[in-house]
Amino acid sequence: MDQLLHCFDNAKNYPKSPSLLYHQTYEHVLEAWKGRLDEHEDDLCCAEGKAEVHLLKCKDSPNPFVPHCVKTYDELRTYFGFKDGKPQPDEDPRSQFV
């Protein structure tokens, strides 16, 4: 969970953040990738609150699949159990799907 929290906190630096991308890539190549992503941000991403990310959690229960939809970054953090910047997961599902 610590690594997931670190990824959330450093997502804005993608692909330069080493926690998001394991690499042996030169810094100038990462800078170029980041520049291209920033340049095309309007084509690649939509405004906060207009996107929907559908998640499916699989639990050990009679009804194992639990669907959920998040629309904001904060909802996504809450879904994964982050409160006040610290992970506080209420459960450990068998698997999760995006």
pLDDT digits (tens, 9 = 90+) for 54-74: 999 888 878 888 899 998 888
Q: Does this model's pTM top 0.85?
A: no
Q: What residues pair up with 79 in beta bridges, in sequence order?
A: none
Residues 65 and 80 in one domain: yes
Residues 29 and 62 in one domain: no
Residues 6 and 33 in one domain: yes
Pick 27 or 23 by higher pLDDT.
27
Residues 8 and 29 in one domain: yes
Per-residue tokens: 79: 């879904």
Q: What is the pLDDT of residue 91?
A: 66
How close are the terminal C-alpha atoms of the chain, in Å? 17
| Residue 34 burial (C-beta neighbours within 10 Å; 0-12, 13-18, 19+) | middle
Report how many domains make up the chain. Answer: 2
Range of the domain at 75: 46-98
Residues 63 and 41 in one domain: no
Q: What is the pLDDT of residue 34?
A: 86
| Residue 59 burial (C-beta neighbours within 10 Å; 0-12, 13-18, 19+) | middle
